Chains A and B, each alone.
Chain A
């Protein structure tokens, strides 16, 4: 089945993620602090299969567009509600049912606000944009260099800045006044993003912040939040579905995660019924199997 994801300038038609691809996704984000560059590289291979776009397409997106893609994928795969445990205003641990749809919409609005920022200075128009993923991982002496996108003269000559090195060369050649203007505009864009708090509509979480972001490691944090099943739980469930549920492992891997969850719950239900029928006695093995299986 296909579904659409709107990521601002691009509207993507994607196939649903399979359990096999879902397993690869969990493997990418499984380490406690996944290295952003290599993790995104692996994730883009999965996204490339889903969206039928080359990996380079995702490298040319900015962080907010990528976030919208991950949100769209998560909503399609497991629905729009994501559970998150936080300490509330009274310092008690609570589970928040985070609705991802408003988060998606807010992100889209912010993207729309900041998509075309420019500075007019003397005979130049300097265009600033959120940096592409490729530029995030290039060396940059100043963070404002990441936002430099295009320079247009009054004669409509245009130079598109492809790398941070190019951005540095232009930055070094301009006047300090223009450099300061660029710095301020880049700061304006970053502040626009950082001012967003997804917890603002949750009255019990007034003192907490769930921010929009400008770094790849926070994107990965959100990805782990949205796809939080433990990898070993997935492996266990596949084992039990094939060992106890007599399902073919390759069949399971070709299902969607939603179907896999359905089968896991079904197996739980069947085992529960068996246990009750047997009066709960001498079913130590099955009982421990039930304990092992868990759901999202």
Chain B
């Protein structure tokens, strides 16, 4: 880009910061973000391609856009935000960058949803489920786990180290069974933040994800059951926030279509 154009694009950036909006996350921190640019919107929409990597591509695009739109001082702080915070970011960004209404296809019907309602649902769910949405401990015998909602850093790690490297042959039933089993352990491993045995603590976020998976596989069954209950519970709460009058809002690139 030549010098004149660069100065002008800087001007456009400063204009966008005028329309920056604030989001209060589950940890009660308030952060500022600028609305999307058209280029960022395109990057989100183009993840709507029907492949096995669609959701992973969308997750990556979301994280990239979040960092680009962030108006705060420390962008690395975004890595500690959780998947609930990601939902808040996506909904607020959609409202502020495009509009608060979205038309979705539900079977043969076209339904218009009010995203402000979804935002209300999320904020209420966060308020009513504080115990679930912040990190907390569970114990059995001498093992104590710190569990909490998966962070964006963890989600990104899983996508990069596990899902993107998968080569799935759907005709190979043995492979499918193995991968489904591993996916189950992945969901559990995502929520386990640390493991304490006696006076020794392992911070699982410092491990590679395959190592993290292996560690979780060796946990006592009673603790695994509690982790399963936790995962089922938080997913139920979050998914419930996305439903208005029996219509569920998809959280993918189609959220940013201009409808």
Contacts and interface: CB of A to CB of B under 8 A. Distances in A.
Query: Are A and B co-members of a single complex?
Result: yes
Contacts of A174: 12, 37-38
A123 B18 CA distance: 11
Contact of A176 (B5, B8, B15, B38): B38
A159 B97 contact: no
Nearest to B256: A176
A176 B4 contact: no
B226 to A, nearest CB: 44
A175 B38 contact: yes
Interface residues of B, number: 23
Contacts of A153: 11
A166 B12 CA distance: 14
B36 interface: yes
B235 to A, nearest CB: 30
Interface in B6-27: 8-9, 11-13, 15-16, 18-19
B98 A173 contact: no
Contacts of B12: 170, 173-174
B134 interface: no
B1 interface: yes
A172 B8 CA distance: 13
Most A CB contacts (10 A, CB to CB) among B8, B12, B38 go to B38
Given A151-B8, A159-B5, A177-B97, A172 B38 contact: yes
Contact of A180 (B5, B18, B258): B258
Interface string A158-195: 01000000100111111111011000000000000000
Contacts of B19: 122, 175
Contacts of A157: 8, 11
Given A122-B18, A157-B11, A172-B42, 10 more contacts: A123-B15, A159-B5, A170-B5, A171-B38, A172-B38, A173-B9, A173-B37, A175-B16, A175-B38, A176-B41
